[in-house]
Every structure is written in C-alpha cells, then in structure tokens.
Chains A and B, each alone.
Chain A
Amino acid sequence: MSDRPEVQLVLPARPEGVGVVRQALSGMADALAIDADVLADMKMAVTEACTNVVLHAYSGAPEPGPLEIGLLAGEDGLTVIVADRGSGIQPRASRAGSPALGLGLPLIAALSNSFELRGSAGGGTEVKMTFLYVRQGDPVQANPIGETGWEPPGEASQQSA
C-alpha cells in the first residue's frame, strides 16, 4: 500500500504539459508542507525529466504519446516517477548541440537525493527520483554536476588577442 502512487497524472507529451506537472508538484508540496528550497529543486529535476520525454520519447511518431507522472509521498521523502511509452532513450551524460544541452540527466542526478533510470513496464523509459523532506545537506554537494561528465561550453567570453 505504501508504494501506491498518491497522485497520478497522464498528459500528452507536449511542451505545454511540463508547466502543468510543476503545478501539480506545487500542490503536493503545499499539502505536505515541503520546504521551498526542496520544492525548487524538485521542480527543476522533474522539469528536466519531462523535457526528456517531450523531446526524445516519441521523436518520429506522428503524435506524441503519454507523459506519465506518479507522486508517492513516503515517510521521509517524496518520490516522483516520470515515465513514457516511447521506444526507450539512450541517455548520455553529454549531448552537445541538443536543444536541452544534455544537462537534463546531470541536473536530475545532482538535485535529487536518489535517482534511478530504467525501462518501464510499458516499453518506454522511467525516471524515479526521491527528494527528502528534510535534508542533511545540499544534494548538489554530494552529487556535483561536474562529476556527471557535463561541462559548461567554452570559457568566459572570447577576448580579442
């Protein structure tokens, strides 16, 4: 019973749906009295997971398939599952030149307390992230984004020689 999603949301995997998911997260955070800092990180990580679905899960399909969100309020933290029924993605830490910079998975890994990426039962991909209600520190310190293989492009602005 404790593993049953408390909120489930299924939307077409279109860009305008990502903000709707953030609104649902805000509502859940209000109900659970989640700290504003934790909510901000949850929104950022979950946005990136949803963006991956919108951009990659149904590329080549005539119509986007579903973007499936599950929110599970556990004892210590909120688990968010973002799933699709696409052909499965081949995640890479760095995807230079893509519209979203390849920053999505590194941000998810940095901002969540735990994170799992796997094939979903429906044949697509599932990202499962847990965010502790009370943190012992900044998760970004424990999972620095630089260790995910992502690097900012170029250094500062080019100066004339």
Chain B
Amino acid sequence: MDANPIVLEDAADDVLAVVVEGEHDIYTAPALRERLDEALAREGGGVVVDLTAATFVDSSILGALLDARRRAQERSQGFVVQVGAGAEPGVQRILDITGLIPVLPVVGDREAAIAAARGGLPSLQDERQA
C-alpha cells in the first residue's frame, strides 16, 4: 500500500480530479507530474487537484501545480486546486504565504472546484473587475 497515493477520479462527466493524500515533496513530485499529465491529456476536460487529504506539500509540489496550470491555460482547460475543510493547516499555510491562492486558484469545496474547473471562476472574475 502506498501511504502517499495520488489517484485520478471522475469528479464529473467533464472534470477529472487528481486526489493527493499524505506527504508530498521532491520524492513524489515526479509521480504528481505524471498524474497531472494524464489528467490534462483528456481533451477539453477540466482538472481539479484535491489537496484536502494531503498532510504536507513543499515547493516542488507547488512547482508541479503551477506548470500544470500553465499547460491547462495553453489548452483552454479549466484548472483549480481544492483544499477543503479539515485540511492540514500546513498545506493551507504554504499556499497562503506564497500568495498562490488566487493564482492557482484554490477553492474550498468540490462543488466550487468543479464549477471553477469548467471555466466559470465567477469569484475571480468579480475580483478582477472590482
């Protein structure tokens, strides 16, 4: 059994979730990059990366997420990170202090993540127009 699994699951018909559990750093970053590549390879679909059950992520993981976000944008695919209630405070903290919450972007629950991955991102658009 892998103590730190990264699995793909269908979040909706047109949205794939990459669910990340346990501790992740430079050792597991290549595996995350592979899963993200698989998710992005599905033509036209949006991608949610769910970090709710991750107990630790470092800058190698943030780098993989930012690369995936860039590729998703190039292909006009939706991309969003989900950090739900009950997530490890350390995961929220690295996203907070690096200023990446609006950039990735990060949302709090699966429903909002699916909506954002479909390209809506209403809250971000409102923020930019404000």
Contact = CB atoms under 8 A, between A and B. Distances in A.
Most chain B CB within a 10 A radius of its CB, from A18, A54, A107, A156: A156
A152 B25 contact: no
Contacts of A51: 25-26, 58-60
A15 interface: yes
Contact of B121 (A44, A99, A103, A157): A157
A46 B58 CA distance: 10
Most chain B CB within a 10 A radius of its CB, from A37, A100, A150: A100
Interface residues of B, number: 33
Given A152-B99, A156-B102, A157-B105, A103 B73 contact: no
Interface string A16-31: 1011001000000000
B107 to A, nearest CB: 12
Contact of B63 (A37, A44, A100, A156): A100
Given A19-B23, A22-B23, A159-B128, A103 B59 contact: yes
A11 interface: no
A62 interface: no
B90 A40 contact: yes
A129 B79 CA distance: 36
Secondary structure call for the B interface: helix
Interface in B66-105: 66, 69-70, 73, 79, 88-90, 93-94, 97-100, 102-103, 105
Given A99-B60, A100-B60, A101-B59, A156 B94 contact: no
Interface of B: 23, 25-27, 29, 56, 58-60, 62-63, 66, 69-70, 73, 79, 88-90, 93-94, 97-100, 102-103, 105, 121, 124-125, 127-128
- 4 A-B pairs with the lowest CB-CB distances in the bound complex, closest first: A15-B27, A103-B59, A40-B90, A152-B99
21 contacts: A15-B26, A18-B26, A19-B25, A19-B27, A22-B56, A44-B58, A44-B93, A48-B58, A54-B26, A55-B26, A98-B63, A100-B60, A107-B97, A150-B98, A152-B99, A156-B103, A156-B124, A156-B127, A158-B73, A159-B121, A159-B128
Interface of A: 15-16, 18-19, 22, 37, 40-41, 43-44, 47-48, 51, 54-55, 98-101, 103-104, 107, 110-111, 140, 145-146, 150-159
